[in-house]
Amino acid sequence: MGKVKIEIDGQILEAEVGSMIIEAADAVDVYIPRFCYHKKLSVAANCRMCMVEVANLPKAVPACATPVAEGMVIKTQSNKAIDAQKAVMEFLLINHPLDCPVCDQGGECELQDLAMEFGEDVSRFTEGKRAVEDKDLGPLIATDMTRCIHCTRCVRFGQEIVGIREIGATGRGEHMEIGTYIEASMESEVSANIIDLCPVGALTAKPSRFKARPWELTEADSIAAHDCLGSNVHIHHRRGEIIRVVPKENESINEVWLSDRDRFSYQALTEGERLLKPRIKQNGRWQDTDWQTALNTVVTQMKRIIGGSNGQSFGLLTGSNVTTEEAYLAQKLMRGAGCHNIDFRTRRRDFSGDDRGSVRSGLNFPMANLDTMDATLLVAADLRHEQPLTTLRVRKSTGFGKVMAINPFDGEYNFRLHQEIQPAANRLAHEFACVVAIADKLKPDILNAETKEWLSVFSPSETHEAIARCLFDAQAACILMGNFVQEHPQAETINWLAELLATVTQSDWGYMTQGCNAAGNKIAGAVPCQSAVGGKSERGKNARQMLTEGLKGYMLINCEPDVESLWPQESLNHLNQADCVIVLTPFADGRVPEYADIMLPIAGCYETSGTYVNVEGIWQTFAAAVNAPGEARPAWKVLRVLANLLDLPGFEYESSKQVIEELREKFDAVGEAKVSRKIPAPLQNLEEHEVARQSLGLYMVDSMVRRAKALQRTPKASTHPISISPVKT
């Protein structure tokens, strides 16, 4: 696009042809008041608060709906502009209840701020104010619809960003109301973003309602801990208690949005049953104890079991949201003690790629590129329930591009699919191989003869060909694999096929990892096949072997295999039968007290400092927003002290910063060749394994989300999407 020269309040600047006055003003930090305008939404121009004066036009015009033109002279502070804005504010306040003292939005309300500047202390209207009945939108969003000024931001968010029309406007004129048309709870997994969008107090967060005033809150930056995106958040807390979590803008990761899961999971830390003191089970009963006694008992048990079995009968499992520092110290502790049974992959069946030396996992292209893909192929990806914000990016690309899917389940899509194949779960790799086979025929000069021979046994259909051609025709294309691929018995083969298809079609490829820090765990060396950053290590048992074959002793760090693993019942049985189970956890409830012998209280994700590595490979370090309650301590400190009691060298850390700096130094020294993914061709027969998809669901993925009361009352919590395609013979 070209540019035009315009003048705003005496400042001459260049603006994109077709852009609106308000966009040009925002680019140079000239503030124009607004209610309905939002940079991520379409222009509605229905509040008229952004009126400005344009030379040679008889009346003030809305800045959000007036495109720039060459030589345009704009005044935002002239008498004509101010008078127009004051007139709009007078109309907006006719029916507003003016209940700022009891409104949660008070102190950060756009209407309140602008009323102070453009409002009058006396209204010329004496008629009775309109009252609107509140709507029940579910357990996450509180409503006070009399305050609504009909900016329609919430409506446009659902229609344009999410693609689900859950909320809309009914009626006309003074009878117009925003609601769900019929009595229904909002079911979208990103529904609470309308709280941030609402410029008044009509939509507020129900879990934090009436708990604090904005000016009482202290803000801290952190990273959400429930999926692999690493969404940036602000933690608002008061006197050591987290009151709410809101999005922090980061265009390359979460833009300005936040999933409901990331927004409300903090409830587990503030209202959950917390473990406040170390506990030891004696004669079947739990006894509170001091840290020294508990740690000495842990050390005694570890020495007994590890020493008595040469490290074969003890294992450590880390959870999906442990920090990279915790994972690094955990594996360093275990290997120093002579045990190599450590893993975090409790939802993986295929471990055949463990000896291939790859360090980083996830995407090999920037996540933001999903917005602009001309063609996207989803493979076993249930994005709405795995990474809700990724769905918004993929949906954005459907405005001009095409999305295709090979999914062995009935996916919930908020965008149109150009092509779809829904095979039985045990034929996922076979159907994907058919796409690779036809791609090889369309461009036969890429793959080697051995791979061509392997692909020759597959018989592609017209749909397979249509998918391949779509990838070929696209200027920008990607192959995106979901969590179920990594749970599949043929995960490494599917990964290899994705790399082949990406090579032939010149597409990007990658897979969404389980939990928030799978990439960090892998780099830290919390796997049985290699130490930190791919260093050599004696081979230990993987998560499946530890949980299905049984061990004498376990250490669990923020991990509940009886819920999170693919083998919940077997895990529970072996944990109950073990001689000693040591659990580092923030919580005192669940089944953990049944099978644990020692429980050590650790800080939750917003109560400790650390680093998460997202699916794109971005390292994001954060500080503790609040202190942990009771005697809970950050897990990295607990592991450091345990190592000291075990007389292990190299654990003289005074801060988590020193831990991550040590790991980062090793990571940087390895080089990109070692860090990058290595997936050689399996070239094996695709046996049709019996496999069922065992989805945890949206609000069961980790211990915090499972304990967030508001999330567990949502419709999505009671209807986990566990749909399995029938086995085809």
Beta strand 61-62 with 168-170 is unpaired
Per-residue pLDDT, 722: 39
- Asked if pLDDT for residue 373 goes beyond 80, the answer is yes
Q: Helices (DSSP H) in 456-536: which residue ranges?
A: 462-473, 483-487, 491-505, 518-524
Angle of CA points 79, 84, 89, to nearest 5°? 125
What kind and span of H or E run contains 268?
helix 267-271
Q: CA 369, 223, 716 angle in degrees (round to 5)? A: 80
Q: How high is the pLDDT of residue 255? A: 95
158 contacts 188 by C-beta, under 8 angstroms: yes
pLDDT digits (tens, 9 = 90+) for 251-270: 999 999 999 999 999 999 99
Q: What is the pLDDT confidence band of residue 681, given thresholds at 50, 70 and 90?
A: low
Burial class (CB within 10 angstroms; exposed 0-12, middle 13-18, buried 19+) of 459? exposed
Least confident span in 354-368, 539-553, 594-608: 354-368
Domains of the chain, earliest start first: 3-92 (3.10.20.740), 100-206 (3.30.70.20), 279-347+520-674 (3.40.50.740), 367-512+681-696 (3.40.228.10)
Structure confidence at residue 718 as a pLDDT band (50, 70, 90):
low
CA distance to 58, 498, 566, per residue, from 417 (Å): 48, 19, 30
What is the chain's length?
Answer: 729
Tens-digit pLDDT profile for residues 34-84: 999 999 999 999 999 999 999 999 999 999 999 999 999 999 999 999 999
* pLDDT exceeds cutoff 80 at 303: yes
What is the rounded CA–CA span in Å between residue 61 and residue 114?
18
H/E/C letters for each residue in 196-238? Answer: HHCCCCCEEECCCCCCCCHHHCEEEEEECCCCCCCCEEEEEEE
Over residues 380-394, the mean pLDDT reads: 94
Task: Report pTM.
Answer: 0.93
